[in-house]
Amino acid sequence: MADSKHNPGNANLLIGVVRDGENPKSAIQENGVPGWHSRGYLPHFESSEATQHVTFHLADSLPKTVLQQLESELKFLPTEKQDAERRKRIDAWIDAGHGSCVLRKPGIADMVQGSLLNFDSQRYRLLAWVVMPNHVHVLFQPIHGWTVAKIVASWKKFTARKICDDRQDNGEDAGDSVWHREYWDRFIRDQSHLVQVIEYIHFNPVKAGLVDRAESWRWSSVYPGNANLPIGVVKEPENPKNAIQENGVPGGKP
């Protein structure tokens, strides 16, 4: 399984892909609603057979005023073009590096990356990821009855705790929200879409001007130094607590 995270050409990457013309079957029921569901602002899709590309970002990376302005501008576009344009503009805004960008700290980035690896093969199959200064991209397939919503909530809850601890250690106010309450998700349609998403995830640091080569960004599944990173381990020397516990949170579950 380790090889499938780092080799886009690996056949194992096709596990869970929904092929052209097919609809995801056996949708996981989340709060009584199979398939599509929403917690308010964004709709989400749940399926035990679909590989998902999820993006979640820091709360201060996309202010409410920016979203309101965006929505007012999108109203002048045809309905069928609004979703794509919304995603395009939000990606561009976040990639510009707005907000505190606390994930730029090596120790924090290591911790977030470790949280993604922690339940790989137990709750999901992790295929690709990148930890950016103010957001995270993850490509994975839920397994064993776990939903995208619960998996993402687990990542956000655990990492928010750690980031709040870091704020307190640096004399900052730990009371502010860490993550934006919503996340973006898109299920993989076919093999071509899969390759496209993997390339997008791996080249996000290059697009944002952080590195010249995708392989140079240390918090990504394409970084050579992560090829043999054990599940659940945070690399030294950035964080002396180099292993996230089996349950993801010391003394409890995420």
Q: Is the pTM of this model over 0.85?
A: no
pLDDT at 36: 35
Nearest to 128 by CA among 246, 12, 49: 12
pLDDT above 90 as % of the chain:
39
Residue 48 pLDDT exceeds 60? no
**Each residue's pLDDT tens digit, 165-185:** 988 888 887 667 899 888 888
Rounded to whole angstroms, the Cα distance separating 126 from 189 reads: 17
**3-62+98-226: in CATH 3.30.70.1290:** yes
pLDDT at 132: 96
Average pLDDT value for the chain:
74
The helix (run of H) or strand (run of E) holding residue 54 is: strand 52-57
All residues at 6 or more sequence positions from 181 whose CB lies less than 8 Å from its CB, including other chains: 39, 40, 59
Residue 131 pLDDT exceeds 90? yes
* Higher-confidence position of 64 and 115: 115
| Alpha carbon of residue 200 to chain centroid | 13
Helix, strand counts (H, E) of the chain? 5, 7
* Higher-confidence position of 62 and 218: 218
Query: What is the CB neighbour count within 10 angstroms for residue 107?
Result: 16
For residue 110, count CB atoms less than 10 angstroms from its CB and return exposed for 0-12, middle for 13-18, buried for 19 or more. Answer: buried
Give the residue extent of every domain in the chain.
3-62+98-226
What residues does 233 pair with on adjacent strands?
243
- For residue 150, CA distances in Å to 23, 134, 162 come to 22, 21, 19
Residue 245 pLDDT exceeds 50? no
